[in-house]
Chains A and B, each alone.
Chain A
Amino acid sequence: MLAFVIRRLMQSVLVMLTVALIAFALFNYVGDPINNMVGQDTTLQDREKLRQDLGLNDSFVVQFARFVGHAAQGNFGLSYQQARPVGQIILEKMPATLELSLTAAFLALLFGVPMGIYTGLRRESWGAQALLAVSLVGVSLPTFLIGILLILIFAVILGWLPSFGRGTVTHIGWWTTGFLTIDGWRAIILPAITLALFQMTLIMRLVRAEMIEVLRTDYIKFARARGLTSRAVNFGHALKNTLVPVMTITGLQLGSIIAFAVITETVFQWPGMGLMFIQAVTFADIPVMAAYLVLVGFFFVVINLVVDLLYYVVDPRLRVEREAAHG
């Protein structure tokens, strides 16, 4: 087991190197950061000198090698935009993104799973049809539009919730949290719903499909024949067996929630890594972009690893097979 984890972590290094290599190959196309960094009156010589000093004239392979060399020592350089260490900027932004993503994932599960069960069991009911129809909105409307609509309704018209930002945050060591103030809770509601909507729909439909599938199987029929209560059949037998695919998808989706929080964060000015990345792109802030992309690559690898490990916990068959194979 330990060997498995270590092997996967080694692979993650490879994934991150690949991501960084592709990123540096693409940075040729993001534009020239120099003009953003100096005033309009800066002379040509000064511009050229800065470009030279920052190593922007080197080929992407050289720039990549330099980045990897420094990154290996934990040094991601200074942001062109802010003149501050990139590692420090990312650490500042990470709590916001993780709190938002986890809240959204939690919301998606909290509502998605029961709604999936309901629509799976009462397929013909009016309520299930309505839920399915409304959930179509969740998948078909683009995130930024949902965000803007929520802002318009709850911030501008009703004035109940703030339209931007994270509210008042509390520092706990290097971590900042919005969960300890009412302000922070109010601020997270709209962005979390916006981010959760798509995932919630996905989970609901997945659970529904799996439920329908499982309810058709023989062991459910036998269970009913044995005279078990519907409750025991539906939740004790059917639901448990739908959870493996749900877990896989939720795990993978958590990765994409973190990676794709970009749009939600932009709409709500949520001060997380996604917003930081967008700002870095418009500024051609190469050190920040590189570090962010590598970090997201790392997140994906870790989440996949955790999901794989959870399989062992949830599905006894896997453990048996593996032991048998080794045995």
Chain B
Amino acid sequence: MGLHIRRLILAGSAVVLLAGGAGAKTFRWANDGDSNSMDPYARQETFLLLFDQSFYEQLVRWDKDMKLEGALATEWSQTDPTTWRFKLRQGVKFHDGTPFTADDVVFSYDRATHPGSNVASPLATVKEVKKIDDYTVDFITDGPDPIMPNNLPTISIMSKKWCEEHNTTRAADLTKNEESYATRNENGTGPFILADRQPDVKTMLKKNPDWWGLKQWPIDFDDTVFNRIENASTRVSALLSGELDFLYTVPPQDTDRIEKTPGMKIWKTPELRTIFLGMDQSRDELLESNIKGKNPFKDKRVREAFTKAIDEDAIAAKVMRGYAHPTALMIGPGVNGYDPALDKRFPVDIAGAKKLLADAGYPDGFEVGFDCPNDRYVNDEAVCQAVVAMLARIGIKANLLAQTRAKYFGKINAPKYDTSFYLLGWTPGTQDALDTIKALVMTRRDKNGVFNIGGYSNPKLDDLAGQIQVELNQDKRNTLIAQALTMIKDDYAYIPLHQQIVVWASRDNVTVAPMGNNTFQLRYVTMK
């Protein structure tokens, strides 16, 4: 009892201290989801990665203009077609004081590629990581890989010594039934140190006074409190009432209201994610259609008719309220390989689309099931409803099934591919067109075509992708990419809709750097 009372008094005085320390400047922000783990290998998910990057750093990372910048590496180059050599930054210390060396890089590669880790796929082409000396490492690839460093911003560097001490040399394994130390603790090299963590509620980070990058990014606040606020109206209210300085996910319907409120600011930048429609082109008969015995989507004319019936400009203006960039390509501006000359949508042509359908043998159109998430992308369900209405104009009856993401992905993803027509979004993790081509367009085989849900298959494209993969000359490579993108477009393999616009909101004394991959980096934040 006495102990309890003493603890209460202690806690009470701690509260007073916290409240009384008016000198400390705090940056308060919120998102609809929490970072589910402090372990940077726990999941390959935008928010988890960006949050954990507050305290963990990588060899290289994306700067605010989406260019690669050195973080824990100072320079890197390809010494031969299968070797990338990285020089490491000297004098960097982990938060527990251990110096950072090449051993930590080798260890991190090992941890990231073993079971329990969900960040192994960016390292798929890496065969081995070799320590040359304390501040030099070689990444050996299993073939020429001209864009290997583009994969590294996902891979945070962890301390070998710390992981061994806390028995967490393997990332958390859900099937093992035990919590890993790294799930709730961190030991990175980054600008912030984890001070207090209440999962799903709030997380407090303190500025790391010994961070090597303070000269370049002088962080002008002392700590930061992150809150999870799931309900959109509550989140906006908390910003407007002054309880928050920054909102990471802004509900589109509230953007105008925030912008018009004095003292508030909206930040925008085009996102690299492309939203598109896909069609089942592999089955001989569609799963959900009134056409039996054949698959209309195997006919290029049908795909062309669908493409020409959809008025993306209307979707961008009305459904997305202007927060979208209509696209003709499967990649957006900012992704390597993007060519504005190719990014011209086919004009809307209802009469032409009807004629194409009639030529293909469907003068009265047909019925088809249409799968759509309702909580994954900005206004996803509303976009799908607009598509249904537009397709109705050419006699296509799309039966919309919009559902929550867990249900939606469970239905359309491998192994079932249980869909005939669907809406999906894709961000190339490497900021390079090859990522999109590999995941969405190449024939489903091994590591290729994992998200080629419609089963599109074109041997010529597969060939071209194979060449892109190993071409080391950047100009030649981009020519090949342009050829591939044109081929996808002319074959109507997919119906690209738009790239979303990243929308963030803050109080007007705050500056942030909106990035195309929707990554929020605390080091760019300033508070006047």
Contact = CB atoms under 8 A, between A and B. Distances in A.
Do A and B make up one complex?
yes
A19 interface: no
A269 B227 contact: yes
Contacts of A155: 237-238, 241, 243
A171 B10 CA distance: 10
A18 interface: no
B298 interface: no
Contacts of A267: 231, 233-234
Interface stretch (B11-19, B100-108, B333-341): B11-19
Interface residues of B, number: 68
Contacts of A151: 233-234, 237
Given A39-B45, A83-B172, A284-B406, A181 B230 contact: no
A32 B406 contact: yes
B43 A164 contact: no
Contacts of B127: none
Nearest to B18: A168
A283 interface: yes
Given A151-B234, A164-B227, A271-B200, A156 B44 contact: no
Interface string A149-184: 001100110010011111010111100000011010
Nearest to A267: B231
A278 B230 contact: yes
Contacts of B235: 164
Contacts of B427: 40
B496 to A, nearest CB: 17
B473 interface: no
Contacts of B439: 40-41
Contacts of B227: 164-165, 269
Interface in B218-237: 227-231, 233-235, 237
Contacts of A53: 174-175
Contacts of A30: 406-407
B142 interface: no
Nearest to A56: B410
Nearest to A283: B406
Nearest to A170: B11
A152 B237 contact: yes
B406 A35 contact: yes
Interface in B1-23: 4, 7-8, 11-12, 15, 18-19
A75 interface: yes
B414 interface: yes
A247 interface: no
B195 interface: no
B143 interface: no
Given A31-B410, A159-B241, A78 B405 contact: no
Contact of B179 (A31, A85, A162, A171): A85
Nearest to B177: A78
Interface string A28-63: 011111111111111110011010011000000000
B19 to A, nearest CB: 8
B442 to A, nearest CB: 13
A234 interface: no
Interface string A111-152: 000000000000000000000000000000000000010011
Interface string A279-301: 10011100000000000000000
A113 B200 CA distance: 37
Interface in B384-414: 403-411, 413-414
B180 to A, nearest CB: 7
Contacts of B200: 82, 271, 275-276, 279
B409 A32 contact: yes
B243 A164 contact: yes
B121 to A, nearest CB: 4
B79 interface: no
Contacts of A33: 406
A40 B44 CA distance: 7
Interface in A7-36: 29-36
Given A41-B121, A84-B199, A162 B414 contact: no
Contacts of B118: 37-39, 42
Contact of B121 (A39, A83, A84, A163): A39
Nearest to A44: B414
A170 B12 contact: yes
Given A83-B37, A166-B201, A172-B8, A38 B406 contact: no
Contact of B409 (A35, A85, A165): A35
Interface string B419-457: 000000011010000000001000000110011000000
Interface in B161-195: 172, 174-175, 177-180, 183-184
Contact of B183 (A36, A83, A152): A83
B408 to A, nearest CB: 7
B198 interface: yes
Given A54-B174, A77-B177, A151-B233, A35 B240 contact: no
Contacts of B198: 92, 271
B36 A172 contact: no
A242 interface: no
Given A31-B408, A271-B198, A180 B234 contact: no
A81 B18 CA distance: 31
Given A35-B405, A37-B118, 10 more contacts: A41-B121, A78-B179, A80-B174, A159-B241, A164-B243, A269-B234, A278-B230, A279-B230, A282-B375, A282-B404
Instruction: Give 10 nearest A-B pairs by CB, closest first.
Output: A39-B44, A32-B410, A31-B406, A31-B407, A35-B409, A41-B121, A284-B406, A53-B175, A271-B201, A170-B11
17 contacts: A31-B409, A31-B410, A32-B410, A39-B121, A40-B451, A42-B450, A44-B415, A78-B174, A83-B36, A156-B240, A168-B15, A171-B7, A181-B15, A267-B234, A269-B227, A271-B198, A283-B406
Interface of B: 4, 7-8, 11-12, 15, 18-19, 36-37, 39, 42-45, 118-119, 121-122, 172, 174-175, 177-180, 183-184, 198-202, 227-231, 233-235, 237-238, 240-243, 375, 403-411, 413-415, 426-427, 429, 439, 446-447, 450-451
Interface of A: 29-44, 47-48, 50, 53-54, 75, 77-78, 80-85, 88-89, 92, 148, 151-152, 155-156, 159, 162-166, 168, 170-173, 180-181, 183, 266-269, 271, 275-276, 278-279, 282-284
